[in-house]
Amino acid sequence: MSRLRSAEWYAGDDRNAYIHRAWMRRGLPDDALDGSRPQIAIANTASDLTPCNRHLDEVAEHVSRGVWEAGGVPHNLPVVSLGETQVRPTAMLWRNMAAMAIEEMLRANPIDGVVLLGGCDKTIPALLMAAASVDLPAVVVPGGPMLTGTFRGVPLGCGTDVWRLSEEVRAGTLSEQAFLDSESSMIRSRGHCNTMGTASTMALLAEALGMTLPGTAGIPAADSRLLARAHASGLLAVDIVHAGRRPSDVITAASLHNAIVTLAATGGSTNAVVHLLAVAGRLGVPLTLDDFDRVGAAVPLLVDLQPAGRFLMEDLHRAGGLAAVLREVSHLLDPSAITVTGAPLMATAASGTIWDESVIRPFASPVQPDAGIAVLRGNLAPAGAIIKPAAATPSLLRHRGPALVFDSIEDFHARIDDPALDVDENTVLVLRGCGPKGYPGMPEVSNMPLPEKLLRRGVRDMLRICDGRMSGTAYGTVVLHVAPEAAAGGPLDRIRTGDPVVLDVPARTLDVDVPQAELDARPPAQALLDGLARPRRGWERLYVDTVLGADTGADCDFLLGSSGPRVSRESH
């Protein structure tokens, strides 16, 4: 076995080794720090203010048992955590900061490998980005989805049903009291959102990338089998240190291909696009927006989960989980990809069985024939925009209508329910100033609520266009991630209310039907410029100055690539 990284701190008889060992002993066995036993960090996003991850301390305890059993030494390492529903102005503003802080703490400390504990939306992406940049042996343990809640005899989809029920209130078909009554039924147990939102998607994609112990992603948080997998992941963490297997060995062009296939087959969140692009950017693996369309567009939707379908994550696990899905699409997977165990992902696929075909459909009888993410380009989105056709109204996938433009989400809320607003079901709602630089942080506001007066007439979907993101639990005909964003000088800043917008998803185009010379001659909208945030200090300022476009993953320019695990200087 080659010399452990941690031995640079602990091995030897000199004064520095003395200092490192002496301060760490505190009851550890004598041989724990002799330089021969792998030191395993448990990067733990448990936090009382990240309710979806609150249970991860218990998961960490079981990881620790596995690490001890395998001869390693576990170290709980609390890291920056992000509660999607809690942090302002939007959790995405802090994803890169969390990834940077985790990266630096993994590099700075005497560890040989890391177990990454995440759950809520941004936590697994941030952990993966950090691990990719440090490139120490790493394995992910997703915290698992919550159990299915019910209200008035029917299941409640976490997130998705908040959007649906609140629209019913605005449409006048559900009372406010009934809406409030549903609140206590929404979250039934520990765990993250139980729809195919971003947290569920990123857990499944972490496994499709090969970064989990196979069979772990999707186990409900309250299921004791998750704790057994946590224990086994602790054993694995020591094993991969001995094997020298790093994220760069696992996350490759082949595994990213497989993640995109999985994203489409499961009907996963559009947010996965920016997260996978960002992870690839940390490893220098070429991945572009167009790869999502090229690889995923013809993949059928096999999983009938909310928001695109009916069931929830507990049902997916019961029906066979990710392995069953992978088996159905195994002919579309790149067989060269391995998992963190060293075995090919194809071995996971071969182990899958569908136990309930109403939840996981066979390849031959999918929920929808093509479910991937479509990438659009045109004079409104020269660098690209995306739409999830599976969550859209088919008749709106080819649409021409007049734009109704909003310069900020506040502008939108102030005017959308004005009875005098000139809007009908053909109108195209355009919201700008919500990209990474513009908001800042690229919030999940693209699925704008429809005007109340149209809801009351029975309208349930309209074409909406935005440079922001959309919650993975949301649905509708929404073009999002428009790039370049308006705040970065993208042409979205020139469109005016009344301009004809033309969407053609089959042709992959998004345009405003205004002569290019006229568009070029228009100044950026003054109301947009007036509304843009100009942070004066702290992370927000650094972020606005350095964040890149959604089309490349919205990472910061100075965080691209790898720092590597080596830190040679020391202060003692």
Residues forming contacts to ligand FES in the complex (CB under 6 A) are 52, 84-85, 120-121, 159, 192-193, 197, 199
Q: Which residue has the tokens 């992959």?
A: 508
CA 158 from centre of chain: 16
Q: What are phi and psi of 330, to 5 degrees?
A: -60, -30
Q: Is the CB of 339 or the CB of 473 nearer to ligand FES?
A: 473
Cα distance between residue 40 and residue 178, in whole Å: 49
**Residue 182 in tokens:** 């549903």
- Of 159 and 220, which CB lies nearer to ligand FES in the complex structure? 159
- Smallest separation (angstroms) from ligand FES to the CB of 153: 24
Tokens matching residue 571: 């202060």
Q: Are 124 and 118 in contact (CB under 8 A)?
A: yes
Cα(368)–Cα(300) distance, rounded to whole angstroms? 6
- Measured CA to CA, the distance from residue 304 to residue 366 in angstroms comes to 9
Nearer Cβ to ligand FES (20/192):
192
The pairing of strands 113-118 and 73-78 is unpaired
> CA 128, CA 126: separation in Å to the nearest integer?
5
**Residues found in the chain:** 572
Q: Is residue 51 a contact partner of residue 126, using CB atoms and an 8 Å limit?
A: no
Minimum distance from residue 197 beta carbon to ligand FES (Å): 6
Closest distance between ligand FES and the C-beta of residue 199, in Å? 4
Distance CA 115, CA 67 (A): 10
Residue 509, burial from CB neighbour count under 10 angstroms (0-12, 13-18, 19+):
middle
Measured from the CB atom, the residue of 107 and 275 that comes closer to ligand FES is 275
Closer Cβ to ligand FES, 145 or 435, answer by number: 145
What single-letter amino acid sits at 403?
A
Of 52 and 204, CB closest to ligand FES: 52
Q: Which is nearer to ligand FES, 50 or 255 (CB)?
A: 50
Closer of 214 and 472 to ligand FES (Cβ)? 472
Nearer to ligand FES, 197 or 210 (CB): 197
* Beta-carbon contacts of residue 364 (< 8 Å; ≥ 6 apart): none
Q: Considering the complex, state which of residue 269 and residue 348 has its C-beta at the smaller distance from ligand FES.
A: 269
Amino acid at 289: L
Where helices occur in 284-362 by DSSP H, the ranges are 289-296, 313-318, 321-328, 345-350
Residue among 179, 178, 149 nearest 162 (CA) = 179
Rounded to the nearest whole angstrom, what is the least distance from the CB of residue 429 to ligand FES in the complex?
A: 25
| Minimum distance, C-beta of residue 84 to ligand FES, in the bound complex (Å) | 4
What is the rounded distance in angstroms from the CA atom of residue 544 to the CA atom of residue 92?
12
Residue among 258 and 270 whose Cβ is closer to ligand FES: 270
Q: What is the nearest approach in angstroms of ligand FES to the Cβ of residue 120?
A: 3
* Least distance CB 309 / ligand FES (angstroms): 18
User: 208 is written with which tokens?
Assistant: 């499709």
| Closer of 68 and 94 to ligand FES (Cβ) | 94
Instruction: Supply the minimum distance, in Å, between the C-beta of residue 458 and ligand FES.
Output: 30
**Contact (CB, 8 A) for 319 and 225:** no
* C-alpha Rg value of the chain to the nearest Å: 24
- Cα 467 to Cα 67, 89, 103: the distances in Å are 44, 16, 28
Nearest 5°: phi and psi at 556? -85, 145
> Min. distance of Cβ 539 from ligand FES in angstroms?
21
Burial annotation 26-63 (CB, 10 A radius, 16+ → b, else e):
eeeeeebbebebbbbbbbbbbbeebbbbbbbeebbbbb
Nearer to ligand FES by C-beta: 166 or 546?
166
* Minimal distance, residue 59 CB to ligand FES, in Å: 15
Shortest distance in whole angstroms from residue 53 CB to ligand FES: 8
Q: Which of 161, 211, 188, 225 is nearest to 51 (CA)?
A: 188
Fill in the amino acid letter for 248. S
Question: Cβ of residue 248: shortest distance to ligand FES, in angstroms?
Answer: 28
Minimum CB distance to ligand FES, residue 196 (Å): 11
CB of 206 to ligand FES, least distance (A): 14
Structure tokens at 222: 């309250």
Distance (Å, whole) CA 395 – CA 107 = 51
Interatomic CA distance for residues 442 and 91, integer angstroms = 9
Is the distance from CB of 229 to CB of 219 less than 8 angstroms? yes
Task: Please say which residue, 110 or 472, places its beta carbon nearer to ligand FES.
Answer: 472
* Residue 151 vs 363, nearer CB to ligand FES: 151
Tell me how far, at minimum, the Cβ of 257 lies from ligand FES, in Å.
Answer: 26
